[in-house]
Amino acid sequence: LAGQDRCCDLGALREQGGVPYWGKSLGTYIGCFSDDGHERTLKGAVFYDLRKMTVSHCQDACAERSYVYAGLEAGVECYCGNRLPAMSVGLEECNHECKGEKGSVCGGVDRLSVYRVDELQLGSRKRRTATYRGCFRLPENITHTFPSSLIQANVTVETCSGFCSHKEFPLAIIRGWECYCAYPTPQFNLHDAMDSSLCGQDPEAQRLAEYCEVYQTPVQDTRCTDRRFLPNKSKVFVALSSFPGAGNTWARHLIEHATGFYTGSYYFDGILYNKGFKGEKDHWRSRRTICVKTHESGRREIEMFDSAILLIRNPYRSLVAEFNRKCAGHLGYAADRNWKSKEWPEFVNSYASWWSSHVLDWLKYGKRLLVVHYEELRRSLVPTLREMVAFLNVSVSEERLLCVENNKEGSFRRRGRRSHDPEPFTPEMKDLINGYIRTVDQALRDHNWTGLPREYVPR
Protein backbone atom coordinates (compact mmCIF):
# COMPACT_ATOMS: atom_id res chain seq x y z
CA LEU A 1 0.00 0.00 0.00
CA ALA A 2 1.17 3.51 -0.71
CA GLY A 3 1.76 5.74 2.33
CA GLN A 4 -1.33 7.87 1.72
CA ASP A 5 -3.52 4.77 1.28
CA ARG A 6 -2.60 3.53 4.74
CA CYS A 7 -4.04 6.59 6.50
CA CYS A 8 -7.37 5.84 8.06
CA ASP A 9 -10.44 7.99 8.75
CA LEU A 10 -11.03 7.86 12.52
CA GLY A 11 -14.75 8.50 12.16
CA ALA A 12 -15.20 5.49 9.87
CA LEU A 13 -13.11 3.35 12.19
CA ARG A 14 -15.25 4.31 15.19
CA GLU A 15 -18.38 3.26 13.31
CA GLN A 16 -16.77 -0.07 12.49
CA GLY A 17 -15.78 -0.53 16.12
CA GLY A 18 -12.15 -0.94 15.08
CA VAL A 19 -10.53 2.03 16.80
CA PRO A 20 -12.08 4.18 19.53
CA TYR A 21 -12.02 7.96 19.58
CA TRP A 22 -9.04 9.52 21.38
CA GLY A 23 -9.89 13.21 21.30
CA LYS A 24 -9.00 16.19 19.13
CA SER A 25 -5.62 17.44 17.89
CA LEU A 26 -4.01 13.99 17.89
CA GLY A 27 -1.91 12.56 15.10
CA THR A 28 -3.34 10.83 12.05
CA TYR A 29 -3.96 7.12 12.58
CA ILE A 30 -2.02 5.10 9.97
CA GLY A 31 -2.85 1.50 10.86
CA CYS A 32 -1.79 -1.67 12.64
CA PHE A 33 1.66 -3.05 11.80
CA SER A 34 3.68 -6.15 12.59
CA ASP A 35 6.65 -5.56 14.88
CA ASP A 36 9.50 -8.02 15.27
CA GLY A 37 11.48 -7.68 18.49
CA HIS A 38 14.71 -8.45 16.63
CA GLU A 39 14.05 -6.07 13.72
CA ARG A 40 11.93 -3.17 14.90
CA THR A 41 9.37 -1.59 12.58
CA LEU A 42 10.01 1.87 14.05
CA LYS A 43 13.72 2.17 14.70
CA GLY A 44 13.85 5.47 16.57
CA ALA A 45 13.42 6.29 20.25
CA VAL A 46 11.84 3.83 22.69
CA PHE A 47 9.80 4.66 25.81
CA TYR A 48 8.00 2.58 28.40
CA ASP A 49 5.27 3.30 30.91
CA LEU A 50 3.98 0.04 32.33
CA ARG A 51 1.21 1.75 34.29
CA LYS A 52 0.21 5.04 32.64
CA MET A 53 0.88 4.76 28.91
CA THR A 54 -1.60 6.69 26.76
CA VAL A 55 -1.85 7.41 23.05
CA SER A 56 -1.22 11.14 23.54
CA HIS A 57 1.76 10.51 25.85
CA CYS A 58 3.47 8.45 23.15
CA GLN A 59 2.54 10.87 20.37
CA ASP A 60 3.86 13.88 22.28
CA ALA A 61 7.11 12.09 23.16
CA CYS A 62 7.80 11.23 19.51
CA ALA A 63 6.68 14.61 18.13
CA GLU A 64 8.85 16.44 20.67
CA ARG A 65 11.88 14.57 19.29
CA SER A 66 10.95 15.44 15.68
CA TYR A 67 9.93 11.93 14.60
CA VAL A 68 7.27 11.44 11.93
CA TYR A 69 5.60 8.35 13.40
CA ALA A 70 4.60 7.12 16.86
CA GLY A 71 3.71 3.48 17.49
CA LEU A 72 2.20 1.85 20.57
CA GLU A 73 2.69 -1.83 21.42
CA ALA A 74 1.34 -4.23 24.06
CA GLY A 75 -0.39 -1.44 25.98
CA VAL A 76 2.81 -0.09 27.54
CA GLU A 77 5.50 0.48 24.91
CA CYS A 78 6.06 3.50 22.67
CA TYR A 79 8.29 3.49 19.58
CA CYS A 80 9.21 6.41 17.34
CA GLY A 81 10.54 6.46 13.80
CA ASN A 82 10.57 8.12 10.40
CA ARG A 83 9.99 5.14 8.10
CA LEU A 84 7.28 2.48 7.84
CA PRO A 85 7.21 -0.89 6.06
CA ALA A 86 5.09 -1.25 2.93
CA MET A 87 2.43 -3.57 4.40
CA SER A 88 0.12 -3.25 7.38
CA VAL A 89 -1.91 -6.00 9.11
CA GLY A 90 -5.59 -6.18 10.06
CA LEU A 91 -6.87 -3.54 12.48
CA GLU A 92 -8.27 -6.26 14.74
CA GLU A 93 -4.74 -7.48 15.50
CA CYS A 94 -4.07 -4.28 17.48
CA ASN A 95 -6.29 -5.21 20.41
CA HIS A 96 -4.48 -4.21 23.63
CA GLU A 97 -5.83 -1.37 25.75
CA CYS A 98 -3.41 1.36 26.83
CA LYS A 99 -2.55 0.89 30.51
CA GLY A 100 -3.32 4.50 31.29
CA GLU A 101 -6.35 5.03 29.04
CA LYS A 102 -9.48 2.89 29.19
CA GLY A 103 -11.15 2.14 25.87
CA SER A 104 -8.09 3.02 23.79
CA VAL A 105 -5.98 0.74 21.63
CA CYS A 106 -2.22 0.41 22.15
CA GLY A 107 -1.17 -2.22 19.63
CA GLY A 108 -0.94 -5.88 20.60
CA VAL A 109 1.56 -8.69 20.93
CA ASP A 110 4.21 -7.85 18.30
CA ARG A 111 1.74 -5.35 16.84
CA LEU A 112 2.03 -1.56 16.58
CA SER A 113 -0.78 1.01 16.43
CA VAL A 114 0.93 3.71 14.36
CA TYR A 115 0.19 7.46 14.08
CA ARG A 116 1.69 10.20 11.98
CA VAL A 117 2.66 12.96 14.41
CA ASP A 118 5.00 15.36 12.60
CA GLU A 119 2.23 17.96 12.31
CA LEU A 120 1.05 17.50 15.90
CA GLN A 121 0.68 20.65 18.00
CA LEU A 122 2.53 20.13 21.27
CA GLY A 123 0.86 22.88 23.29
CA SER A 124 3.14 23.93 26.15
CA ARG A 125 5.84 21.43 25.18
CA LYS A 126 8.33 22.50 22.53
CA ARG A 127 9.96 20.40 19.86
CA ARG A 128 13.57 19.74 20.70
CA THR A 129 16.17 21.47 18.58
CA ALA A 130 19.73 20.59 17.67
CA THR A 131 22.30 20.96 20.46
CA TYR A 132 25.81 22.20 19.69
CA ARG A 133 28.43 19.58 20.61
CA GLY A 134 31.52 21.47 19.50
CA CYS A 135 34.12 21.92 16.78
CA PHE A 136 35.98 18.74 15.83
CA ARG A 137 38.65 17.59 13.41
CA LEU A 138 37.20 15.69 10.45
CA PRO A 139 37.98 11.96 10.24
CA GLU A 140 40.39 10.79 7.55
CA ASN A 141 37.75 8.92 5.55
CA ILE A 142 34.65 11.10 5.50
CA THR A 143 32.51 8.93 3.23
CA HIS A 144 33.23 5.82 5.32
CA THR A 145 32.62 7.52 8.69
CA PHE A 146 29.60 9.63 7.71
CA PRO A 147 26.93 7.38 6.07
CA SER A 148 24.67 10.12 4.72
CA SER A 149 25.24 13.59 3.28
CA LEU A 150 23.55 16.66 1.84
CA ILE A 151 25.39 19.35 -0.12
CA GLN A 152 23.65 22.63 -0.90
CA ALA A 153 24.35 26.35 -0.80
CA ASN A 154 23.53 28.17 2.44
CA VAL A 155 23.08 24.99 4.47
CA THR A 156 21.91 25.87 8.00
CA VAL A 157 21.91 24.06 11.33
CA GLU A 158 18.13 23.65 11.03
CA THR A 159 18.40 22.24 7.50
CA CYS A 160 21.15 19.79 8.39
CA SER A 161 19.58 18.72 11.69
CA GLY A 162 16.22 18.20 9.98
CA PHE A 163 17.82 16.15 7.21
CA CYS A 164 19.73 13.95 9.67
CA SER A 165 16.74 13.60 12.00
CA HIS A 166 14.65 12.31 9.11
CA LYS A 167 17.42 9.80 8.37
CA GLU A 168 17.36 8.85 12.10
CA PHE A 169 20.95 9.85 12.86
CA PRO A 170 21.83 11.43 16.23
CA LEU A 171 24.62 13.64 14.86
CA ALA A 172 24.45 16.42 12.26
CA ILE A 173 27.86 17.59 11.00
CA ILE A 174 28.43 20.80 9.04
CA ARG A 175 31.49 21.84 7.03
CA GLY A 176 30.89 24.84 4.81
CA TRP A 177 28.03 23.91 2.47
CA GLU A 178 28.27 20.23 3.36
CA CYS A 179 25.96 18.44 5.80
CA TYR A 180 26.79 14.94 7.03
CA CYS A 181 24.88 12.55 9.30
CA ALA A 182 26.50 10.00 11.58
CA TYR A 183 26.73 8.10 14.84
CA PRO A 184 29.61 8.50 17.30
CA THR A 185 32.20 5.87 16.32
CA PRO A 186 35.80 5.05 17.30
CA GLN A 187 36.88 7.08 14.24
CA PHE A 188 34.70 10.04 15.32
CA ASN A 189 34.10 9.76 19.07
CA LEU A 190 33.70 13.47 20.00
CA HIS A 191 36.21 13.16 22.84
CA ASP A 192 38.67 15.81 21.59
CA ALA A 193 36.93 19.10 20.87
CA MET A 194 38.91 21.86 19.15
CA ASP A 195 38.73 25.62 19.62
CA SER A 196 35.40 26.82 18.19
CA SER A 197 37.15 29.58 16.23
CA LEU A 198 38.56 26.90 13.89
CA CYS A 199 35.00 26.31 12.67
CA GLY A 200 34.04 29.97 12.47
CA GLN A 201 35.24 30.73 8.95
CA ASP A 202 33.04 31.69 5.99
CA PRO A 203 31.43 28.70 4.19
CA GLU A 204 33.84 28.69 1.21
CA ALA A 205 36.93 28.65 3.44
CA GLN A 206 35.29 26.21 5.83
CA ARG A 207 34.54 23.83 2.95
CA LEU A 208 38.27 23.34 2.45
CA ALA A 209 39.11 23.14 6.15
CA GLU A 210 39.69 19.99 8.17
CA TYR A 211 37.29 20.96 10.95
CA CYS A 212 33.52 20.63 11.30
CA GLU A 213 30.73 21.75 13.60
CA VAL A 214 28.82 18.92 15.27
CA TYR A 215 25.24 19.09 16.54
CA GLN A 216 23.16 16.57 18.46
CA THR A 217 19.83 16.06 16.68
CA PRO A 218 16.62 15.37 18.66
CA VAL A 219 16.81 11.74 17.45
CA GLN A 220 17.88 9.08 19.94
CA ASP A 221 20.90 6.86 19.26
CA THR A 222 19.21 3.44 19.24
CA ARG A 223 22.24 1.19 18.79
CA CYS A 224 22.18 0.38 22.52
CA THR A 225 18.50 0.48 23.50
CA ASP A 226 17.71 -3.24 23.15
CA ARG A 227 17.64 -5.07 26.52
CA ARG A 228 16.61 -8.53 27.70
CA PHE A 229 17.00 -10.98 30.56
CA LEU A 230 20.02 -13.30 30.59
CA PRO A 231 19.35 -16.37 28.40
CA ASN A 232 20.86 -18.62 31.10
CA LYS A 233 21.09 -18.18 34.85
CA SER A 234 24.23 -16.34 35.83
CA LYS A 235 26.88 -18.46 37.55
CA VAL A 236 28.32 -15.38 39.28
CA PHE A 237 25.92 -13.43 41.50
CA VAL A 238 26.94 -9.76 41.25
CA ALA A 239 25.79 -6.83 43.38
CA LEU A 240 25.68 -3.20 42.30
CA SER A 241 26.11 -1.80 45.78
CA SER A 242 25.92 1.81 46.87
CA PHE A 243 24.77 4.11 49.61
CA PRO A 244 21.39 5.71 48.74
CA GLY A 245 21.80 8.84 46.62
CA ALA A 246 25.07 7.64 45.08
CA GLY A 247 23.72 7.27 41.53
CA ASN A 248 22.76 3.58 41.56
CA THR A 249 19.79 4.06 39.22
CA TRP A 250 21.93 6.03 36.77
CA ALA A 251 24.63 3.33 36.91
CA ARG A 252 21.94 0.71 36.18
CA HIS A 253 20.85 2.70 33.13
CA LEU A 254 24.44 2.73 31.86
CA ILE A 255 25.02 -0.98 32.57
CA GLU A 256 21.73 -2.08 30.95
CA HIS A 257 22.39 -0.13 27.77
CA ALA A 258 26.05 -1.15 27.61
CA THR A 259 25.48 -4.89 28.15
CA GLY A 260 21.97 -5.26 26.67
CA PHE A 261 20.82 -7.08 29.84
CA TYR A 262 18.43 -5.97 32.57
CA THR A 263 19.63 -5.25 36.08
CA GLY A 264 17.76 -6.48 39.14
CA SER A 265 17.06 -5.02 42.57
CA TYR A 266 17.03 -6.22 46.17
CA TYR A 267 13.96 -4.00 46.52
CA PHE A 268 10.97 -3.24 44.29
CA ASP A 269 10.44 0.29 43.01
CA GLY A 270 7.22 0.51 41.02
CA ILE A 271 8.18 3.86 39.51
CA LEU A 272 11.39 2.43 38.07
CA TYR A 273 9.59 -0.69 36.83
CA ASN A 274 6.90 1.38 35.12
CA LYS A 275 9.58 3.37 33.28
CA GLY A 276 11.29 0.34 31.77
CA PHE A 277 13.55 -1.18 34.45
CA LYS A 278 11.92 -4.56 33.91
CA GLY A 279 14.36 -6.34 36.20
CA GLU A 280 12.69 -4.59 39.16
CA LYS A 281 9.90 -7.16 39.26
CA ASP A 282 12.15 -10.18 38.89
CA HIS A 283 13.06 -11.88 42.17
CA TRP A 284 16.43 -10.48 43.17
CA ARG A 285 17.92 -13.99 43.44
CA SER A 286 16.62 -15.16 40.05
CA ARG A 287 20.08 -14.75 38.46
CA ARG A 288 18.36 -13.61 35.25
CA THR A 289 19.82 -10.09 35.54
CA ILE A 290 23.38 -8.93 34.95
CA CYS A 291 23.71 -7.48 38.47
CA VAL A 292 21.47 -6.59 41.43
CA LYS A 293 21.04 -3.18 43.05
CA THR A 294 21.45 -3.14 46.83
CA HIS A 295 22.00 -0.60 49.59
CA GLU A 296 22.45 -3.33 52.22
CA SER A 297 25.67 -3.48 54.21
CA GLY A 298 25.41 -6.28 56.76
CA ARG A 299 27.83 -9.21 56.62
CA ARG A 300 25.09 -11.75 55.88
CA GLU A 301 23.69 -9.68 52.99
CA ILE A 302 27.14 -9.01 51.53
CA GLU A 303 28.29 -12.62 51.64
CA MET A 304 25.26 -13.73 49.60
CA PHE A 305 26.95 -12.17 46.55
CA ASP A 306 29.93 -13.63 44.71
CA SER A 307 31.21 -10.21 43.67
CA ALA A 308 30.18 -6.57 43.64
CA ILE A 309 30.63 -3.23 41.94
CA LEU A 310 30.91 -0.82 44.87
CA LEU A 311 29.72 2.62 43.73
CA ILE A 312 30.89 5.48 45.97
CA ARG A 313 29.86 9.12 45.76
CA ASN A 314 30.88 12.23 47.69
CA PRO A 315 28.81 12.03 50.92
CA TYR A 316 27.82 15.69 50.71
CA ARG A 317 26.25 15.05 47.30
CA SER A 318 24.81 11.67 48.29
CA LEU A 319 23.11 13.03 51.40
CA VAL A 320 21.51 15.89 49.48
CA ALA A 321 20.38 13.57 46.65
CA GLU A 322 18.84 11.04 49.04
CA PHE A 323 17.11 13.75 51.08
CA ASN A 324 15.64 15.17 47.86
CA ARG A 325 14.41 11.69 46.90
CA LYS A 326 12.83 11.03 50.29
CA CYS A 327 11.06 14.40 50.25
CA ALA A 328 10.16 14.77 46.56
CA GLY A 329 10.72 11.51 44.67
CA HIS A 330 13.25 10.45 42.04
CA LEU A 331 13.22 13.69 40.04
CA GLY A 332 12.06 16.31 42.55
CA TYR A 333 13.70 18.66 45.04
CA ALA A 334 13.03 19.02 48.75
CA ALA A 335 11.27 22.26 49.69
CA ASP A 336 12.91 24.96 51.81
CA ARG A 337 10.74 23.96 54.75
CA ASN A 338 12.26 20.45 54.62
CA TRP A 339 15.80 21.81 54.85
CA LYS A 340 14.86 24.14 57.72
CA SER A 341 13.02 21.50 59.74
CA LYS A 342 14.55 19.20 62.36
CA GLU A 343 14.16 16.40 59.82
CA TRP A 344 17.33 17.45 57.95
CA PRO A 345 19.82 17.43 60.89
CA GLU A 346 18.32 14.15 62.10
CA PHE A 347 18.75 12.73 58.62
CA VAL A 348 22.42 13.80 58.46
CA ASN A 349 23.22 12.39 61.91
CA SER A 350 21.69 9.04 60.95
CA TYR A 351 22.78 8.70 57.32
CA ALA A 352 26.32 10.11 57.44
CA SER A 353 27.53 7.19 59.56
CA TRP A 354 25.74 4.79 57.20
CA TRP A 355 27.65 6.25 54.24
CA SER A 356 30.87 5.29 56.00
CA SER A 357 29.81 1.90 57.36
CA HIS A 358 28.43 0.87 53.97
CA VAL A 359 31.84 1.20 52.31
CA LEU A 360 33.73 -0.27 55.28
CA ASP A 361 31.49 -3.36 55.42
CA TRP A 362 31.78 -4.09 51.70
CA LEU A 363 35.57 -3.68 51.86
CA LYS A 364 35.66 -6.09 54.80
CA TYR A 365 33.19 -8.78 53.69
CA GLY A 366 33.01 -8.47 49.90
CA LYS A 367 34.53 -11.48 48.14
CA ARG A 368 35.54 -9.72 44.91
CA LEU A 369 35.13 -5.99 44.39
CA LEU A 370 35.39 -3.32 41.76
CA VAL A 371 35.39 0.13 43.37
CA VAL A 372 33.87 2.81 41.13
CA HIS A 373 33.65 6.47 42.06
CA TYR A 374 30.53 8.23 40.77
CA GLU A 375 32.56 11.35 39.95
CA GLU A 376 35.03 9.37 37.85
CA LEU A 377 32.16 7.67 36.01
CA ARG A 378 30.75 11.08 35.10
CA ARG A 379 34.17 12.46 34.16
CA SER A 380 35.46 9.50 32.14
CA LEU A 381 32.35 7.57 31.23
CA VAL A 382 33.57 5.27 28.45
CA PRO A 383 36.81 4.04 30.13
CA THR A 384 35.09 3.55 33.50
CA LEU A 385 32.06 1.84 31.98
CA ARG A 386 34.36 -0.38 29.91
CA GLU A 387 35.99 -1.50 33.18
CA MET A 388 32.59 -2.18 34.78
CA VAL A 389 31.40 -4.22 31.80
CA ALA A 390 34.61 -6.26 31.79
CA PHE A 391 34.10 -6.95 35.51
CA LEU A 392 30.63 -8.27 34.61
CA ASN A 393 32.30 -10.55 32.03
CA VAL A 394 30.37 -9.14 29.07
CA SER A 395 31.96 -8.38 25.69
CA VAL A 396 30.78 -5.03 24.35
CA SER A 397 31.75 -3.19 21.16
CA GLU A 398 33.24 0.29 21.28
CA GLU A 399 30.30 1.51 19.17
CA ARG A 400 27.86 0.37 21.85
CA LEU A 401 29.81 2.15 24.59
CA LEU A 402 29.80 5.34 22.50
CA CYS A 403 26.05 4.93 22.03
CA VAL A 404 25.63 4.73 25.82
CA GLU A 405 27.72 7.88 26.18
CA ASN A 406 25.45 9.58 23.64
CA ASN A 407 22.40 8.57 25.75
CA LYS A 408 24.16 8.85 29.09
CA GLU A 409 21.61 10.79 31.14
CA GLY A 410 18.62 8.48 30.81
CA SER A 411 15.29 9.45 32.40
CA PHE A 412 16.14 9.37 36.10
CA ARG A 413 18.38 12.32 36.76
CA ARG A 414 17.28 15.61 38.28
CA ARG A 415 17.41 18.24 35.55
CA GLY A 416 19.06 21.60 36.22
CA ARG A 417 19.22 23.18 39.65
CA ARG A 418 16.71 24.65 42.03
CA SER A 419 16.30 28.40 41.78
CA HIS A 420 17.48 28.59 45.40
CA ASP A 421 20.15 26.16 46.54
CA PRO A 422 20.75 26.56 50.26
CA GLU A 423 24.00 25.55 51.96
CA PRO A 424 22.40 22.89 54.14
CA PHE A 425 25.47 21.75 56.08
CA THR A 426 26.28 23.39 59.41
CA PRO A 427 29.88 23.46 60.74
CA GLU A 428 28.96 20.63 63.11
CA MET A 429 27.64 18.54 60.23
CA LYS A 430 30.82 19.17 58.22
CA ASP A 431 33.02 18.07 61.12
CA LEU A 432 31.02 14.84 61.37
CA ILE A 433 31.07 14.09 57.63
CA ASN A 434 34.73 15.03 57.17
CA GLY A 435 35.69 12.54 59.85
CA TYR A 436 33.88 9.78 57.95
CA ILE A 437 35.58 10.86 54.70
CA ARG A 438 39.02 10.45 56.30
CA THR A 439 38.06 7.03 57.68
CA VAL A 440 36.82 5.72 54.32
CA ASP A 441 39.77 7.19 52.43
CA GLN A 442 42.22 5.36 54.69
CA ALA A 443 40.24 2.11 54.52
CA LEU A 444 40.35 2.15 50.71
CA ARG A 445 44.12 2.64 50.78
CA ASP A 446 44.51 -0.14 53.34
CA HIS A 447 42.72 -2.49 50.92
CA ASN A 448 45.02 -1.49 48.03
CA TRP A 449 42.53 0.80 46.30
CA THR A 450 43.24 4.41 45.44
CA GLY A 451 41.84 6.83 47.99
CA LEU A 452 38.76 8.97 47.53
CA PRO A 453 38.76 11.55 44.71
CA ARG A 454 40.27 14.93 45.50
CA GLU A 455 36.89 16.66 45.62
CA TYR A 456 35.97 14.60 48.70
CA VAL A 457 38.76 16.27 50.68
CA PRO A 458 37.24 17.80 53.83
CA ARG A 459 36.11 21.35 53.22
* Structural domain count of the chain: 3
Task: Report the pLDDT value the prediction gives residue 420, as an integer from 0 to 100.
Answer: 44
Domain boundary, last residue among 181, 216, 251: 216
Which comes out higher in pLDDT, residue 130 or 411?
130
User: What pLDDT, on the 0 to 100 scale, is given for residue 433?
Assistant: 95
Q: Same domain for 190 and 259?
A: no
Q: Is the pLDDT of residue 4 over 90?
A: no
Q: Indicate if 255 and 325 belong to the same structural domain.
A: yes
Domain C-terminal end among 91, 116, 141: 116
Interval 52-64: pLDDT, tens: 899 988 998 888 8
Phi, psi at residue 115, to the nearest 5°?
Answer: -125, 150
Residue 233 placed within a domain: no
Query: CA distances (Å), 299 to each of 304, 355, 358, 366, in order?
Result: 9, 16, 10, 9
Q: Does the pLDDT at position 5 exceed 60?
A: no
Higher-pLDDT residue of 275, 316? 316
Same domain assignment for residues 61 and 166: no
**8 pLDDT exceeds 50?**
no
| 160-187 average pLDDT score | 94
Determine how β-strand 211-216 pairs with β-strand 171-175: antiparallel
Q: What are the tens digits of pLDDT across the range 433-446?
A: 999 999 999 999 99
Domain annotation covers residue 278: yes
Distance of CA 165 to the CA centre of its chain: 19
Percentage of the chain with pLDDT > 90? 61
Q: Does the structure show a pLDDT above 80 at 124?
A: no
Q: Do 108 and 144 reside in the same domain of the chain?
A: no
Average pLDDT over the chain reads: 87
Residues 140, 80: one domain? no
pLDDT tens digit sequence for 12-34: 333 334 444 443 337 888 999 99
pLDDT of amino acid 14: 36
Task: Please state, in angstroms and rounded to a whole number, the distance separating the CA atoms of residues 165 and 43.
Answer: 12
362 with 428, same domain: the answer is yes
CA 160-196-178 angle, to 5 degrees, is 30
Question: Which residue, 65, 91, 116, sits at the end of a domain?
Answer: 116
Q: Are residues 307 and 341 in the same domain?
A: yes
For residue 343, give every residue at least 6 positions away whose Cβ sits within 8 Å of its Cβ, in sequence order, or none.
none
pTM attached to this predicted model: 0.83
Domain that holds residue 142: 131-216
Verify that 40 and 150 share a domain, yes or no. Answer: no
Most confident of 72-76, 150-154, 290-294, 453-457: 290-294
The domain that holds 377 is classified in CATH as 3.40.50.300
